[in-house]
Structure 1
Amino acid sequence: MSKGIFIPATLPLTGKSRWSTIQKYSPVSRETFRKLSLKGRAPRPERMGIRCTYYDNQELHRWLKDPANYQSN
């Protein structure tokens, strides 16, 4: 049994995910995603401490469905 980060086969519909889980499904790099997020063109991050950032899975699914036309709420 290996120890490490568990990455699900699909992105869960609910809950929160970190970039290490999202990157498998993202059509863009981490830096591009960060820039899009700052412009409201990708889901905004939720900070849980200084070094812990999560994203809402429902918003990620909305973005993944149509990245070009996504607008954050």
Structure 2
Amino acid sequence: MTNKPQLPAPATLPATGKSRFSQFKKFIPVSREKFRQLSKEGRAPQPERMGIRCTFYDNAELHRWLADPINYRIEQ
């Protein structure tokens, strides 16, 4: 077996695109479960399901939430 070289994690969250929770968890001040609860209440970005076990979040919405997490609300 050959070992694949691991790419270094980015130091910042990209402004566009999609990210999984594991890719942005170091940038947020809450746990996975609290983030899930906030998403369910509409106070954090909504997940986008790409399959049964594949969930992504929009980076632009994550940046909007990170700029003001207390006053963030989902735009309907």
Give the TM-score normalised by structure 2: 0.88
* 1:52 and 2:54 are equivalent in the alignment: yes
* 1:8 and 2:10 are equivalent in the alignment: yes
Q: For 1:51-73, what per-residue CA distance to the aligned partner results, in whole angstroms no more than 9, with x for missing partners? A: 00000000000000000000012
What is the RMSD computed on CA atoms of the aligned residues? 1.7
Give the TM-score normalised by structure 1: 0.92
Structure index of larger Rg: 2
User: Which SS does the other structure have where 1:10 is aligned?
Assistant: coil
Which segments of 5 or more consecutive residues in structure 2 lack a partner in the other structure? Answer: none
User: Which SS does the other structure have where 1:24 is aligned?
Assistant: helix
Note the C-alpha offset of 1:7: 2.3
Residues 2 and 34 of structure 1: CA distance in aligned 2, closer, same or farther (over 3 Å): same
Please list every run of at least 4 consecutive aligned residues from structure 1 whose deviation after the TM superposition is greater than 4 angstroms: 1-6
Inter-partner Cα distance in structure 1 for 2:48 and 2:7: 20
Note the C-alpha offset of 1:2: 6.2
Note the C-alpha offset of 1:4: 4.6
